[in-house]
Amino acid sequence: MTRTLDPATRTWLIDQGFAPAADAPWLEALTHGSFNGSGPADAADYQRLEFLGDRVLGLSVAAWLFRAGDAPEGKLSQRLNALVSGATCARIARGIGLQQHIRLGKQARDDGGADSDKILGDVMEALIGACFIQHGFDTAQGLIYRLWAHELEGDVGKAKPPKSALQEWAAGNRRMAPLYEVTDRSGPDHAARFTVRVSVRNVGEAEATASSKGEAEKLAAKAFLERFG
């Protein structure tokens, strides 16, 4: 199994600004678990670098948002979660043609793994991790700002309804979908009050009360994002 970068992949990495030096971190970043097989030396896949790249991406985007204005924490969190979500990472990955450079096993490739949002997003983060390992934080941050420029300057994560924002936050953080429950209804029909609890498994919950179920759900989602987002 090859332990050196394919010439076409090396050229692509250079063209995208990743500036590969040693091959090992880039091979690891581009390797899906299905590609492994022949021995321990071939076992490294992108998961560890993805873990690292996710943190580098989050800090870089958070710093950009903090410097870009005086938005309150809730709105900063809403935009951050949208900008670093798996869907956004996958969109960036497609934009730079990452699909053809991912090292996948035959079955995973035949199953469409090269165009999977999950795999594309993970490999994009792994490449950021490899850049950080090889060139340091400033270079990795500069790369992120260039690749994410359109997203950062655009409307991603802005003015999104709280329920949609919470749904996106949960997906972006690989959590189960939010669960909404009416925990109390009081008052006469013409002036009813609904209390709704929203919860995300293994994260937490928040409650809100309003004159309609829909409004209570919206307020509960907003409270959840302010507390945990």
Q: What are phi and psi of 196, to 5 degrees?
A: -120, 135
**What length is written for the chain?**
229
Catalytic residue (choose from 45, 54, 151, 168):
54
The candidate with the shortest Cα–Cα distance to 34, out of 22, 23, 43, is: 43
The neighbour count for residue 34, using CB atoms within 10 Å, is: 17
Q: How many CB atoms lie within 10 A of CB 115?
A: 13
Clarify whether 125 is annotated catalytic: yes
**Of 45, 50, 122, 125, which is the active-site residue?**
125
The CA-based dihedral angle spanning residues 14, 18, 19, 24, taken in that order and rounded to the nearest 10 degrees: -110
CA quadruple 33, 120, 2, 137: dihedral positive or negative? negative
Q: Which residues are catalytic?
A: 54, 125
